[in-house]
Each structure stands twice: as structure tokens, then as C-alpha cells.
Amino acid sequence: MPYTNLTFDVRDRIATITINRPDKLNALNDATIAELDLAIGEVIARTDVGGAIVTGSGAKAFVAGADIAELATQGSLDGRLRAMVGQRIFTKFEQSPKAVIAAINGFALGGGLELALACHIRIASDNAKMGLPEVKLGIGPGYGGTQRLPRLIGKGRALQLMLTAEMTDAAEAFRIGLVNKVVPQAELIATAEAMLKLILANGPIAVGLCIEAVNRGLDTTLEEGLVIEANHFGLIATTSDMKEGMSAFLEKRPPAFKGA
Ligand code: COA
């Protein structure tokens, strides 16, 4: 698929989506958001892709936010629509049954942090800086930040980041659970690939159902969430992957999952 504002490469079943506007610190203009929609659609649809890494080009930024030059001209109706379009696309990342890891290689601000929050796992380079500084611009987060950040790090810390507009560094982001791991920048992509390879060695249906159960369960009661989990447990018992996983263990060999 042709992309202008990002690159999409597939190697060893891993798709790497690299947002590629380094002169604008990879800021998300509407065209880039639309390409992210196509890219995550490609990840989900392609049978030769098992999972994805999202990162930014250059050594300075993952994504420094939504494109402020575009936001500056919006009115209330197109502003609302812009938020809804971005939210829908980021939700597609969150609901992807294939694991998506954000490799945060520098500034992840505003829409950049919101994109990372929609990914399943976040790995940051040690120079990364993260925040939701929208209030400095007189706006609030519009691509899911007010909802996903408190779910991940708790209400108090999320409000602190949003209301002060301060950036947090990678070490603090790790301490508060905003990122899963921090590594030197030179090791970032290799670390993300290694983690994704661990995931790709597991049953793909099981991985997809874990993502679905966690996503749905967090939005409902514990009781409902447990029903979702039990239903998945029953559903997966119908798959040949379950038989393969258990047989492989008993036969002391690695499993060969087929996603069926
Ligand atoms: N939207 C549009 N352009 C952006 C941008 C954004 N979110 N973030 C950076 N840029 C552009 C700058 O305008 C500049 O373009 P120019 O060279 O044509 O003037 C270029 O990217 C480099 O940014 P610059 O500000 O010169 O880099 P810096 O190292 O001095 O500062 C940041 C880096 C990230 C601190 C600073 O760019 C910044 O605060 N960006 C906005 C962050 C933000 O508020 N994001 C939330 C948006 S809702």
C-alpha cells in the first residue's frame, strides 16, 4: 500500500510502522492519521504479519503531537470530528488482535502519547520525554488521552500530567507504569522486536483473546469481565491450537501454532 507520511516494512512477520515527518517531529497531521488507519488495517488483514511496532523516524521524536498548524484553524464542528476520527483510528490499534508495541524513541507528546497509549505495550528509549501538554495550547487531549491515561497510571498521576502540562522522562514514566521498559536508544527497536518475537511464538488466537478480554473487562464490572474470560476459555477449547499447545508441552517440543 502506498504511504507518504509513514513507512510500512514487514520482516519476520513483524510490521514496523515508522511515522516519517522528522522535520515536524513526526507531528500527526490529518493525512498521517488517515495513513495510520490504513497501516493498522494492513497489520490486521495481512496473514504474513503477526504483530507490529510503531515508532517515529529520526533520533529526536516518536510523535510531538497532533499537527498544531492544522489544529490552529479548526472550529468547533471540525474539531469534534477530528477528535472522533482520531479516536476511532487509535481504538483500532487498541483492539487489534495482533500485538502492537510502541517503541518511543524521543518526544511522545499529546497525540503522540495518545497513540502510544492505544498500543498494547510501550518501550521507551532513555532519552524519551512524554506528556499531554494540550492545556498549554488552550485545548485538551482529543485522541483518547483523558480516558486511557488514567486507566493506565491512575487518576491522580494522569491529572497531574494533563493539568501541569509537564513532560515526564523515561525513568519516571517507567516508575509510574506509563512504559513497560526503558532501554538505550540504540537498542530500542531490537528490544521491541525481541519482545514481539516472544509474543509471536505463542498461540495467536490466545493472544488476540487476551487483548480482547483485557480491553473489554476494563470497561465493565469484574463479574461481567469474568464471564468474558470464561467464554474465551470455552471458545479456545475448540481450536486445534489448544491441542497443539498442550501436546507440544507433553511431548517436550516447541508448539507449531496455526491460528486455527
Ligand atoms: N505540530 C506541528 N509542528 C510541530 C509540532 C506539532 N505538534 N511539534 C514540533 N513541530 C515542528 C516545529 O514547529 C518545528 O518546525 P519548523 O522547523 O518548521 O519551525 C519543528 O517541528 C521542530 O520543532 P522545534 O519546536 O523547533 O524543536 P525543539 O527541539 O525546540 O522543541 C518540542 C521540541 C517537542 C519541545 C517542541 O517542538 C514542542 O513543544 N512541540 C509541541 C508539543 C505539543 O504541544 N504537542 C501537543 C500538540 S496537541
Long-range contacts of 137-142 (CB under 8 A, 24+ apart): 137/68, 137/71, 139/71, 141/110, 141/114, 142/66, 142/79, 142/82, 142/83, 142/86, 142/87, 142/111
Q: Which residue has the cell 511464538?
A: 201
Q: In the structure grid, which three cell numbers stand for residue 119, read together?
A: 498500543
Return the closest-CA partner of residue 149 out of 159, 164, 163, 140: 159
Q: Which residue has the cell 510502541?
A: 102
Distance separating alpha carbons of residues 61 and 102, to the nearest angstrom: 13
Q: What average pLDDT does range 192-211 have in this prediction?
A: 98
H-type helices in the chain, by residue range? 30-45, 68-71, 76-94, 111-118, 145-153, 155-164, 170-175, 188-200, 204-218, 222-236, 240-250
Distance separating alpha carbons of residues 228 and 51, to the nearest angstrom: 23
Out of 134, 187, 229, 244, the active site residue is: 134
Q: Which residue has the cell 513497560?
A: 180
Instruction: Tell me the per-residue pLDDT of 57-71, one tens digit each, with 9 for 90 and over.
Output: 999 999 999 999 999
Residue 30 has pLDDT above 90, yes or no: yes
Instruction: Tell me the per-residue pLDDT of 209-241, one tens digit each, with 9 for 90 and over.
Output: 999 999 999 999 999 999 999 999 999 999 999
Q: What average pLDDT does range 128-139 have in this prediction?
A: 98
Q: What average pLDDT does range 181-189 have in this prediction?
A: 98
CA of 172 to the centre of ligand 1 (A): 22
Domains and CATH numbers, the chain: 6-200 (3.90.226.10), 204-250 (1.10.12.10)
Burial of 144 (0-12, 13-18, 19+ CB in 10 A): buried
Distance separating alpha carbons of residues 180 and 193, to the nearest angstrom: 14
Residue 131 phi, psi (nearest 5): 180, 170
CA of 7 to the centre of ligand 1 (A): 21
Residue nearest to atom 37 of ligand 1 (CA): 64
- With a 6 Å cutoff on the Cβ, whether 68 touches ligand 1 is yes
Contact between residue 216 and residue 148 where contact means Cβ atoms under 8 Å apart: no
Give, rounded to a whole angstrom, the gap between the first and last alpha carbons of the chain.
27
pLDDT for position 2: 86
Residue nearest to atom 47 of ligand 1 (CA): 65
Out of 94, 114, 166, 251, the active site residue is: 114
Instruction: Tell me the per-residue pLDDT of 63-97, one tens digit each, with 9 for 90 and over.
Output: 999 999 999 999 988 999 999 999 999 999 999 99
| Type of residue at 119 | C
Residue 197 phi, psi (nearest 5): -65, -40
Residue 1 has pLDDT above 80, yes or no: no
With a CB cutoff of 8 Å and minimum separation 6, the contacts of 28 are 19, 36, 63, 65, 66, 67, 86, 111, 112, 115
pTM: 0.98
CA of 64 to the centre of ligand 1 (A): 6
Q: What average pLDDT does range 178-186 have in this prediction?
A: 98
Pair type for strands 100-104 and 6-11: unpaired
